[in-house]
């Protein structure tokens, strides 16, 4: 049996449109309604044809939904939730896909004090945004972390787990604060480092921009991909996961200082030991089948 019959997606960008496409592919009888605050995005989503209905208002989009997923930047979650408050059916489950969880949960709870809320975060994405960027296989073999608070009914968590599993994801339940710390090290600080290194390269006076482009080796190119990610989304992630990001950054800058010292004093052993440990981590990721660069990953499933 399908976990939901009428799904509403608010925010029709990369993640919202990927969920809609994936529902169409994996649960074709489920009706998917969408809404986006931007009329141009609504028109583009309608033309792309991955929804059954596009509603002009947030309220109209949820009127008979049994699952509502908020797919907007984390700083807009509170406003998106407030916009559906008056029309949300009392038995609907509300979820989200935000990349940080603790502050989003607080915003959703404030806007929807009576609703059943089961927050989520599919750990899958790209540097692209907008409805054209989505694809149905985005969640195949990727983790989706659910962070229900203690008051969430177990049945609601079970249904949302079944929903994500039907889209091809593996589901894990996690405490929201722990999620925010884990993602700070695995996703948020790496993005910050990419934004920094690409910014530093573009600010160098002795090296021209065309030299940076012409001679960019693999490592720098990988950083530029990540540093091309959506500015609104990432601004919001850093402002909303402030504590965990600052904690990890403190540790990171101490470790960077230690490496700086090793280079200054010609301490090759320290460099070699670290590079050996990090190589083992990369090999562990590949062994677990989590390597995005393998040719059969992501879009190749479509
Ligand atoms: N991009 C990625 O790789 C991933 C993103 N996420 C999370 O997914 C969420 C959405 O990200 P993307 O789809 O990448 O962004 P996107 O920029 O592609 O789409 C976001 C959409 O939300 C709309 N929007 C903004 N405020 C709104 C509001 N109040 N009401 C209705 N619509 C509103 C925008 O007009 C835009 O079309 C974010 O919270 C992000 O943290 C989660 C996993 C991966
Ligand atoms: O494109 C990449 O490398 C990503 O890291 C995608 C991504 C971005 C944000 C998330 O919250 C989860 C995954």
Taking 3-state DSSP, the helix, strand and coil percentages for the chain, each rounded to the nearest 5, stand at 55, 10, 35
β pairing state of 143-146 and 120-122: antiparallel
Question: Which residue, by CA, sits nearest to atom 23 of ligand 1?
Answer: 11
Verify whether ligand 2 is closer than 6 Å to residue 267 (CB atom). no
pLDDT class for 27, splitting at 50, 70, 90? very high
Q: Which ligand is nearest to the CA of 224?
A: 2
pLDDT class for 299, splitting at 50, 70, 90? very low
**Ligand 2 nearest atom to the CA of residue 237, by list position:** 11
H or E, element range at 166: helix 154-166
Question: Which residue, by CA, sits nearest to atom 1 of ligand 2?
Answer: 126
Instruction: Please give the backbone phi and psi of residue 131, each rounded to the nearest 5 degrees, phi first.
Output: -65, -25
In this structure, what is the dihedral angle of CA atoms 75, 196, 242, 178, given to the nearest 10 degrees?
A: 100
Question: Which residue, by CA, sits nearest to atom 7 of ligand 1?
Answer: 98
pLDDT at 298: 45
Number of other residues whose CB lies within 10 A of the CB of residue 263? 11
Identify the residues whose C-beta falls under 6 Å from ligand 1: 10-16, 36-38, 41, 71-74, 76, 79-80, 97-99, 121-122, 125-126, 129-130, 230, 233, 237
pLDDT(89) > 80: yes
Q: Answer for the pair 126, 96: CB distance below 8 angstroms, yes or no.
A: no
Q: Where are the domains of the chain?
A: 6-174, 178-266
Domain 178-266 falls in which CATH fold? 6-phosphogluconate dehydrogenase C-terminal fold (1.10.3660)
Tell me the C-alpha distance between 297 and 155, whole Å: 32
Tell me the C-alpha distance between 83 and 288, whole Å: 41
Verify whether ligand 2 is closer than 6 Å to residue 240 (CB atom). no
Whether complex ipTM tops 0.95 = yes
pLDDT > 90 fraction of the chain, expressed in percent and rounded: 85
Output the CA–CA distances (angstroms, integers) from residue 92 to 21, 88, 141, 211, in the order listed: 21, 7, 27, 55
pLDDT at 185: 97
DSSP 99: S
CA of 108 to the centre of ligand 1 (A): 16
pLDDT class for 289, splitting at 50, 70, 90? confident
Verify whether ligand 2 is closer than 6 Å to residue 175 (CB atom). no
Question: Which residue, by CA, sits nearest to atom 6 of ligand 2?
Answer: 125
pLDDT class for 291, splitting at 50, 70, 90? low
Verify whether ligand 2 is closer than 6 Å to residue 123 (CB atom). yes
pLDDT class for 28, splitting at 50, 70, 90? very high
Mean pLDDT of 176-184: 98
pLDDT class for 300, splitting at 50, 70, 90? very low
**Which residues on adjacent β-strands are paired with residue 55?**
none
The class that CATH gives domain 6-174 is alpha beta
Provide the whole-model pTM.
Answer: 0.94
Verify whether ligand 2 is closer than 6 Å to residue 99 (CB atom). yes
């Amino acid at each position: 049996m399908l976990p939901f019959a009428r799904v509403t997606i608010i925010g029709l960008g990369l993640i919202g449109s990927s969920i809609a496409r994936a529902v169409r592919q994996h649960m074709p009888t489920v009706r998917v309604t969408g809404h986006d605050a931007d009329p141009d995005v609504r028109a583009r989503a309608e033309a792309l044809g991955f929804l059954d209905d596009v509603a002009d208002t947030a309220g109209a989009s949820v009127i008979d939904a049994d699952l509502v997923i908020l797919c907007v930047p984390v700083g807009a979650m509170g406003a998106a939730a407030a916009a559906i408050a008056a029309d949300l059916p009392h038995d609907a489950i509300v979820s989200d896909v935000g990349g940080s969880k603790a502050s989003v949960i607080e915003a959703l709870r404030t806007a929807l004090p009576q609703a059943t809320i089961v927050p989520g975060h599919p750990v899958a994405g790209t540097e692209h945004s907008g409805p054209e960027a989505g694809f149905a296989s985005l969640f195949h073999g990727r983790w989706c972390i659910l962070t229900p608070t203690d008051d969430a009914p177990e049945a609601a968590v079970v249904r949302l787990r079944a929903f994500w599993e039907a889209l091809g994801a593996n589901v894990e339940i996690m405490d929201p604060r722990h999620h925010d710390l884990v993602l700070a090290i695995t996703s948020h600080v790496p993005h910050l480092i990419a934004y920094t290194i690409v910014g530093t390269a573009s600010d160098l006076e002795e090296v021209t921009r065309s030299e940076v482009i012409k001679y960019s080796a693999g490592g720098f190119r990988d950083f530029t991909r990540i540093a091309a990610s959506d500015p609104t989304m990432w601004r919001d992630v850093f402002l909303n996961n402030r504590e965990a990001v600052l904690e990890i950054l403190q540790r990171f800058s101490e470790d960077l200082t230690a490496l700086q010292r090793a280079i200054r004093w010609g301490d090759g052993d320290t460099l070699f030991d670290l590079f050996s440990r990090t190589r083992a981590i990369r090999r562990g990721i590949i062994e677990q089948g989590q390597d995005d660069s393998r040719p059969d990953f992501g879009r190749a499933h479509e």
